[in-house]
Amino acid sequence: MRLDIEDVTLEVAGTRLVEHIDLTVGSGAFAGLVGPNGSGKSTLLRALYRALRPAGGVVRLDGDDLHAMDARAAARKLAALPQESSAEFDFTAAEVVAMGRLPHRGRTAASDREIVAGAMERTGVVHLADRGFLGLSGGEKQRVLIARALAQQPGVLVLDEPTNHLDVAHQLDVLSLVRDSGPTVLAALHDLNLAAAHCDVLYVLDSGRIVAHGPPHDVLQPPLLAQVFGVRAHPVRHPVTGAVQLLFDLLPPTT
Amino acid sequence: MDCERGRARPHAPYGLLLLDVQQAARVKDGPVRRRTAPSRIPVLPLALALLLLLLLSLVGGVGLGAAGVGRGEVARFLWAGLSGGTVHAADAASYTIVWEVRLPRVLLGAVVGAGLAAVGVAVQAMVRNALADPFVLGISSGAAVGANAVILLGAFAGLGVWALSASAFASALAAMTLVHAVARSPHGLTPLRLVLTGTALAYGFEAVTTVMVFGAARGEAARSAMMWLLGSLGGATWAQLPFAAATVAAGWAWLYGRAGALDALAMGDETASALGVRPARLRRELFLLTAAVTGTVVAVSGAIGFVGLMVPHVVRMLVGADHRRVLTVAPLAGAVLLVWADVLSRLLFAPAELPVGVITAVVGVPAFLLLMRRGGGYAFGGR
């Protein structure tokens, strides 16, 4: 499913946080959204899972206006992993995954069970089914939440910093899981090397505007990184794999 | 594994070798078990057992009382009442006690207990805080203000017998609206603001009630106002039952129909949105429902605390957090608890009666603390 964000502007409590965003993710592609803290990544994603209504512009899924849809119909097409993952009540992992079936109508308990089981199998969390969600490790939680999103059977999957608080192994694990999961993906990511390794296309957000987009190696050039993130980037080849990695240090103060 | 979907990787220079670390991650996650699985009791047998217990409790509640009426007589009177049979003139007084005083009281206790438990579940999901209930949100205290205005000041006299219910209901709604209005912020209605506002306003409402009690010249009126503040089923009549039962049943059915949405809301507003639930609207609906059921319940029984807080907790420990399961079991548990609490309130200092809220607190607090210590997989407030 194709995701088009057309000239979207977002306001929270009268403050304009994100302006005139144009962003397109082709069907089945993995797009990354990068930018410094406070650049508006989460705000933009909130508009996609309808926690926020755009003050201007349109979000389209295969051409259909997302915000004109019924809430449940939208949730059948677009699933999300918001950053909050604090449940107040201790649902089991299986119950959390089953919540992904909520937007679907005309479902039966048997078909739900099958889809939930399938989603848990794909994310490798079957053995956690009866464990309390709150007692899981960070990596396990993310896998369970991804299973919930997959149980929604969405065409588009939106992730807000899915690798936050995860160790390096789990970061890679979660991203390749998402990459192989099927839907079109738009993910806000902090780690630029991680984003470069996993994304087909990157959008760079700065102060609420898209300042660059394209294939990662075209976008992540030292001048742009200096301008947006305020760091000096040094591309370096990995001594073993030969992959290009970015190393960073602070820009010298300019006066 | 990265190529399973045949996706080309045009940016190979940035690629990392993923497989080794992935395997490492799986191995690391595997054997570590931080907490045992929450133990769950199957819902259906538990619900059936509670239903049976409730029926036995109703009969027991009718049979037990300060005025000694024999077991055989109680059964005979109940049968006479149900089948439209006759009783001897000599038994008229006992029959009246059983049929006109105890039976409606016991039934009302069950209805009120079920209603408080259901509304407790609703409020806890609404404010996403396991320590909330209608009393925390100030709705009960608000309803009590209305009830006391009728009792002490004769407000709404034009409404006749409905004055009490109507007033408690209206003031519950008013309290709800006030809490809602004060708790609102530009960012919407956050659980923390709701709880804080509710708690603060509850003190205000209680102060109003206290002023009314002390302002009233009639000593007996003050005493009955205290019963209202702490809760009592002493005024139960058949006339109160249909409306209270219908409101509680309708409220429960509405909640049960939205069990899935309540699950999503419990996971957080953003998650709820992503799952197709509109959290702000659902929360408003829950607020209205809470005010309606709480107002109705307070109108017939006063502000009985603890049931709405305690029962959902205990039920979650037994059957887990899933709202369909919780809403199946909690009303039955609340009904049984309140029927027996009321029996104790009648018997302990007979012929004087304790406010039933004292019993629910005295019985509930130790049980609550005990369960809290034992409750294996149950997390309080998610922290």
Task: Among A87, A179, A180, select the one facing B382 at the smallest CB separation.
Answer: A87
Q: Is the alpha carbon torsion for A101, A102, A105, A108 positive or negative?
A: positive
B288 by Cβ neighbours in 10 Å (0-12 / 13-18 / 19+) ranks as: middle
Task: Count the residues in chain B.
Answer: 383
Contact B275 A103 (CB under 8 A): yes
- Mean pLDDT score of chain B: 78
Strands A201-206 and A209-214: antiparallel
A223 contacts: CB under 8 Å, gap ≥ 6: none
d(C-alpha B269, C-alpha B279), whole Å: 6
- Categorize the per-residue pLDDT at B268 as very low, low, confident or very high, splitting at 50, 70 and 90: confident
Over range B32-53, report the average pLDDT. Answer: 74
- In tens digits, chain A (255 residues) has pLDDT values of 999 999 999 998 889 999 999 999 999 999 999 999 989 999 999 999 999 999 999 999 999 999 999 999 999 999 999 987 566 788 999 999 999 999 997 777 888 999 999 999 988 899 999 998 988 988 889 899 999 999 999 999 999 988 887 888 888 888 888 888 889 999 999 889 988 888 999 999 999 999 999 998 889 889 999 999 989 998 888 888 777 788 988 877 765
Alpha helices in chain A (DSSP H): 41-48, 71-77, 93-98, 109-122, 138-151, 168-179, 192-198, 216-219, 222-229
B27 touching A, CB under 8 A? Answer: no
Over range B81-105, report the average pLDDT. Answer: 78
A183 touching B, CB under 8 A? Answer: no
Task: Using the predicted structure, report yes or no on whether residue B344 has a pLDDT greater than 60.
Answer: yes
d(C-alpha A41, C-alpha A162), whole Å: 13
In Å, how far is B158's CA from the nearest CA of chain A? 46
B321 contacts: CB under 8 Å, gap ≥ 6: A87, A89, A90, A91, A95, B263, B266
Dihedral-angle region of residue A153 (phi above 0 means left; psi in -120 to 50 means alpha; beta otherwise): left
B264 touching A, CB under 8 A? Answer: yes
B24 touching A, CB under 8 A? Answer: yes
Residues of A in contact with B11 (CB under 8 A): 196-197, 199-200, 215-217
Contact B266 A82 (CB under 8 A): no
- Domain residue ranges in chain A: 3-221
Residues of A in contact with B322 (CB under 8 A): 91, 95
d(C-alpha B382, C-alpha A51), whole Å: 23
A247 touching B, CB under 8 A? Answer: no
Contact B22 A134 (CB under 8 A): no
* Model pLDDT, residue B189: 62
* Model pLDDT, residue A154: 93
Beta bridge partners of A80: A158
* Model pLDDT, residue B107: 95
- Categorize the per-residue pLDDT at B90 as very low, low, confident or very high, splitting at 50, 70 and 90: confident
Residue identified by tokens 């309803």 is: B143
d(C-alpha B184, C-alpha B282), whole Å: 15
pLDDT tens per residue, range B155-169:
676 666 677 777 887
DSSP codes joined into one string, B124-164: HHHTT-TT--TTTTTHHHHHHHHHHHHHHH-TTGGGGGGHH
Residues of A in contact with B327 (CB under 8 A): none
Tokens of A31: 């797009």
Nearest CA in chain A to B31: A127
B109 touching A, CB under 8 A? Answer: no
B109 and B190 Cβ atoms separated by less than 8 Å: no
d(C-alpha B251, C-alpha B332), whole Å: 14
Task: Using the predicted structure, report yes or no on whether residue B379 has a pLDDT greater than 70.
Answer: no
Best mean pLDDT range from A165-169, A248-252, B309-313, B338-342: B338-342
d(C-alpha A177, C-alpha A189), whole Å: 15
A240 by Cβ neighbours in 10 Å (0-12 / 13-18 / 19+) ranks as: exposed
In Å, how far is A255's CA from the nearest CA of chain B? 34
pLDDT tens per residue, range B189-248:
666 777 788 888 888 888 888 788 777 766 666 666 666 778 888 878 888 888 899 999
Task: Among B26, B266, B276, select the one facing A72 at the smallest CB separation.
Answer: B276
Percentage, residues of chain B above pLDDT 70? 77
Residues of B in contact with A50 (CB under 8 A): 273-274
Query: Which CATH number is A3-221's, of 1.10.3720.10, 3.40.50.300, 3.40.50.970, 1.10.150.20?
Result: 3.40.50.300
Question: What phi and psi values does residue A78 have, to the nearest 5 degrees?
Answer: -130, 125
In Å, how far is B264's CA from the nearest CA of chain A? 7
Q: Please give the single-letter amino acid code of residue A53.
A: R
Residues of B in contact with A173 (CB under 8 A): 21-22, 25-26
B143 and B298 Cβ atoms separated by less than 8 Å: yes
Percentage, residues of chain B above pLDDT 90? 24
Task: Using the predicted structure, report yes or no on whether residue B310 has a pLDDT greater than 60.
Answer: yes
Position with higher pLDDT, B374 vs B361: B361
pLDDT tens per residue, range B7-21:
444 443 433 333 334
Nearest C-alpha neighbor of B293 from the set B112, B144, B156, B135: B112
d(C-alpha A2, C-alpha A228), whole Å: 28
Residues of B in contact with A14 (CB under 8 A): 186
d(C-alpha A95, C-alpha A87), whole Å: 12
Nearest C-alpha neighbor of B283 from the set B201, B199, B174, B194: B194
* Model pLDDT, residue A5: 94
Weakest mean pLDDT among B89-93, B307-311, B332-336: B89-93
* Model pLDDT, residue B218: 63
Question: What phi and psi values does residue B267 have, to the nearest 5 degrees?
Answer: -80, -10
Task: Using the predicted structure, report yes or no on whether residue B131 has a pLDDT greater than 80.
Answer: no
Residues of A in contact with B277 (CB under 8 A): 71, 102
Contact A88 B266 (CB under 8 A): yes
- Categorize the per-residue pLDDT at B186 as very low, low, confident or very high, splitting at 50, 70 and 90: low
d(C-alpha A209, C-alpha A19), whole Å: 6
Contact A82 B2 (CB under 8 A): no
